[in-house]
């Protein structure tokens, strides 16, 4: 498995990113991986490596690139209560319009990558804030996304006019949504609202509540990390992609 850094041209500048793929063979189905709110860091790169080892070309962009190049992340410092406003500000710096412009650039990059299947439908996966980005991207790119997944995604079905669940009629991908247990960012009311929207739009999806798992359970460097639940997430994600991306 090979991983390397790259820069991707977007309307707002150069987005640094990490790309991983198997050492031999190809071309491979491509997957766009959206980071959590903590930031672009080694934990996510190792996750990209693991996904790539299963037979995919994985692109992990630094979604905070508009705020500057990524610096080493001190998770404990980021999570301090006094630093919560700064974290919220960083998360909110990625507007829906900016995200979709980025998604177009990411797709162009993947379409031009020599190890990716040209013009082949891609997979998308997002964690935490990346869950909403995954749903928005699936709606925006339509049939170019074969499968999309969200894990402990927050604010997927709010009462706001720009809530991701309102985009359900535009989604052509098959979805998997893994909810954290008692997640303040994704309440039972939101879960029900999302289910209703996806069912009404006849989106192919599976939603699952990870009993006892807290928001952030997939991230090995977070206090919420739950190893058994994380392995379950890998099983669900790889099964989704095996039945969609690898069957085309």
Please tell me the distance from the alpha carbon of residue 172 to that of residue 93, in angstroms, as a whole number: 27
Residues 6+ apart with CB under 8 A from 237: 51, 125, 149, 151, 176
Q: For position 74, what pLDDT does the model report?
A: 95
- Tens digit of each residue's pLDDT (9 = 90 or more) over 32-49: 999 999 999 999 999 999
Tokens of 221: 């460097």
pLDDT over threshold 90, residue 247: no
- Tens digit of each residue's pLDDT (9 = 90 or more) over 3-29: 999 999 999 999 999 999 999 888 999
Determine how many CB atoms are found less than 10 A away from the CB of residue 155. Answer: 17
Helices 42-53 and 227-244: crossing angle in degrees, nearest 10, is 50
- Tens digit of each residue's pLDDT (9 = 90 or more) over 91-116: 999 999 999 999 999 999 999 999 99
- Tens digit of each residue's pLDDT (9 = 90 or more) over 118-139: 889 999 999 999 999 999 999 9
**Cross-strand partners of 227:** none
CA end-to-end span of the chain: 23
Residues 178-206, mean pLDDT to the nearest whole number: 97
Q: For position 118, what pLDDT does the model report?
A: 85
Q: For position 248, what pLDDT does the model report?
A: 62
Please tell me the distance from the alpha carbon of residue 203 to that of residue 54, in angstroms, as a whole number: 26
Q: For position 246, what pLDDT does the model report?
A: 82
CATH of domain 2-247: 3.40.50.1820
- Tens digit of each residue's pLDDT (9 = 90 or more) over 52-91: 999 999 999 999 999 999 999 999 999 999 999 999 999 9
Residue 224: name the closest of 87, 111, 127, 100 by CA. Answer: 127
Tokens of 161: 């006019």
Helices (H), 93-183: 96-112, 129-141
């Amino acid at each position: 498995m090979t991983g390397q850094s790259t820069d991707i041209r977007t309307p707002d500048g150069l987005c640094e990113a990490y790309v991983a793929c198997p050492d031999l063979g190809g071309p491979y189905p491509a997957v766009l991986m959206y980071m959590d709110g903590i930031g672009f860091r080694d934990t996510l790169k190792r996750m990209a490596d693991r996904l790539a080892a299963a037979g995919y070309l994985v692109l992990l962009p630094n979604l905070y690139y508009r705020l500057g190049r990524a610096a080493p992340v001190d998770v404990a410092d980021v999570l301090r209560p006094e630093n919560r406003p700064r974290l919220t500000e960083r998360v909110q710096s990625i507007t829906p319009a900016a995200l979709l412009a980025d998604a177009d650039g990411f797709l162009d990059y993947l379409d031009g990558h020599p190890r990716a299947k040209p013009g082949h439908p891609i997979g998308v996966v997002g964690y935490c804030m990346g869950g909403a980005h995954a749903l928005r991207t699936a709606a925006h790119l339509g049939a170019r996304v074969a499968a999309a997944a969200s894990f402990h995604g927050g604010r997927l079905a709010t009462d706001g006019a720009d809530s991701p669940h309102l985009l359900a009629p535009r989604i052509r991908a098959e979805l998997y949504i893994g909810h954290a247990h008692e997640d303040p960012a994704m309440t039972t009311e939101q879960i029900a609202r999302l289910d209703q929207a996806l069912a009404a739009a006849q989106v192919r999806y599976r939603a699952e509540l990870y009993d006892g798992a807290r928001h952030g359970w997939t991230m090995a460097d977070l206090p919420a990390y739950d190893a058994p639940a994380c392995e379950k997430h890998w099983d669900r994600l790889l099964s989704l992609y095996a039945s969609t991306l690898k069957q085309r």
